[in-house]
Amino acid sequence: MLLVNFKIYKNTFGDGALKLAEICRRVGEKTKVKIIPVVSALDLRRVKEKVGGEIWLQHLDLFFEGKFTGWVSPIAVILAGADGALINHSEHQIPFGRVRQILAYLKKKEWVEHWVEELKELGDYRSDIENFKLAFCVKTKGQVERRVKKMTPKPDFVAYEPPELIGGTVSVAEAEPEVIKRIVDLLPDYKIIVGAGVRNGDDVEKSLELGAKGVLVSSDVVLAKDPKKELTELAEAFAGKVKIQKSPVLDEVETRSGNFKNANQR
């Protein structure tokens, strides 16, 4: 799974969002890799109606319905066609308590039943609510240890992106392979997404070899002169590594991790 975060770069405004989402759809169909546009709330409905497929939102707020001017309602985005969302991205962080509340309101059975009842006059949205995906973004291994392991209910994905590498020329898989491996080991019941500085097929391959199930990209595709070419390279690398067995990259990481532990024990 590749998630393409449109952010709010000007070339994704208006028709630009439609053009890039269409590229995601076509490359996904060609390579047989799930490619998900992650769009702004302003573009969600239009992209969903004109391009279709799975579409995620970049952010959600805690407030679901009522007198809350300007906030992004999770229920409103589900009704608008969103299939999932990022929460707590490093560029739009929210307090951990609010993250837990959003998870509770969308994942706990009693709250799902509440929203189904509340919305019944508008239609049957049970499956839309039940299948809505949430990716909780973290920027350090410490956040995984302190927060994610204690989450109830759980997010569908955990996305690790160190902010200092976002938009840079060194990928997270190149700079922090031990951290990715550690997060994967800490969260065996979670699907891990990694991102930051991902710029080529090698970055995707290394991420998957380390145990990630998805890769989050943005500027490499969104700001590229030829977004289709860039996205195709990433998707083809993903398609070629989905069923990979234990790799030399992983062996190296485990050896380095073991050496680090042994050094600490001396």
Catalytic residue among 22, 49, 65, 89: 89
79 in helix, strand or coil?
A: helix
Asked if 92 is an active-site residue, the reply is no
Q: Specify the DSSP element, H or E, that contains 258.
A: helix 248-265
Asked if 209 is an active-site residue, the reply is no
Give the dihedral sign, CA 153/53/217/38.
Answer: negative
Identify the burial level of 136 via C-beta atoms within 10 angstroms of its C-beta, where 0-12 means exposed, 13-18 middle and 19 or more buried: buried
217, 227 Cβ separation under 8 angstroms: no
For residue 220, give the nearest of 210, 208, 206, 234 by alpha carbon: 234
For residue 77, give the nearest of 30, 125, 33 by alpha carbon: 125
Q: Is cis: bond before 153, omega within 30 of 0?
A: yes
Catalytic residue among 161, 176, 205, 233: 161
Pairwise CA distance, residues 180 & 249, whole Å: 12
Q: Please identify every residue annotated as catalytic.
A: 89, 161
